A and B are shown apart, each in its own frame.
Chain A
Amino acid sequence: MVQRKKKNEHPRFEEAYKSLFPTIFRVSYRITGDKGIAEDLCHEAFIKYYEKKELLPDLEQAKYWLIRVVRNISLNYEKRKIRERQAYIRFEKTSIDYTESGEDKLIKKETDGLVQEALNRLPYKLRVVLVLKEYAGLNYREIGKVLGISEGNVKIRVFRAREKLAIIFKEGELYVS
């Protein structure tokens, strides 16, 4: 009886989770570049969806809503990452040994996933737009709606992201022939 009442409160949760998790996870991973953090983002986004009082009319709307939540949370993560990186750079200057092991790690990471590494190197604003275009399958109007920017702005950001990626790929000398 209790379970039934709960089901009535959130009739679409199970359905939304099953059909939207792959997209939300992919987007989270591509924005943050880290599987564990992508899981954290998905956890938080779906909890928020579960607690949401007003139900969304369909799965498409639920997808936009979840992507928006993921984007907001990832923005906080991005800010923290920048602060940590700055702290790391400061630390790096004072410790030669640590710098060397840091470089080793970076080389290993590059060989593991150059594409994600290239995406990570894009500025956050450009990365998010391109990820939503390529990995969430949203069109310019939908991206604009999710991010609260104009379609023209989306167009510019998508192009700039591709432009920067072309340079990064060329530097990598693996994908551009």
Chain B
Amino acid sequence: MRISTQLQPAYLLHQRPYRDTSLLLEIFTPEQGRFGLVARGARAPKSRNRGLLQLFQPLLLSWTGRAELGTLTGVEPNGTAPRLLGATLYSGFYLNELIMRLLQRLDPHPELFMAYAEALQGLQYATERPLRLFEKRLLETLGYGLMLDHEADTGEPVIAEGFYRYELETGPVAVTQGSVQRPGQGLCLQGSSLLSLAADQLEDAQSLSDCKRLMRAALGLYLGDRKLKTREVFAAMAAR
């Protein structure tokens, strides 16, 4: 049986050429999660969808077919694309790679879709904060949400002035400030940074830099040995 789906909100995560004039698309939707679609003739000179089928453009897609690989039957814009220029484009690629790597195919998470849309909008105005908030949502979606406002061992609330060593699988453990400076102590953060992330604030440089370290370590746990390619490109750019 062929199922046809009409005008679902969607984003394009990745595309690659397929056959002569077609594209293989990796799609992200709230109801179906991440899956593949074939866009027949999308690369043909007369294709009307070429300008629309772009990364980061909010879309309404129609397709037929079941499970992992359907056929695209219609494309319409769902609002205008966020204006991502220059370096923020790479942040967009990073979000896409995170989803491709960590979210299983056909595992729907409407709230993550929302978070992705918000992050893309946010990237027009800020470079770091939208990324951190999305990473936090992604970990929650995967069932690996971070404990941020209570100590892992004692259950005491985290206080802004305190210093904490973050144990990735459990949560923050209070340490004295003196030991924070010593190397080899693992991931040490200020209490205020943890609370800032818990409240989705992240408006000061200290919390942003603390949370970047925290998220990198936490995501690293689930990404395994295979490094993020977007991060390698970032690094190559930064090294210039």
Answer yes or no: do A and B interact: no
Contacts from B to A (Cβ < 8 Å): none
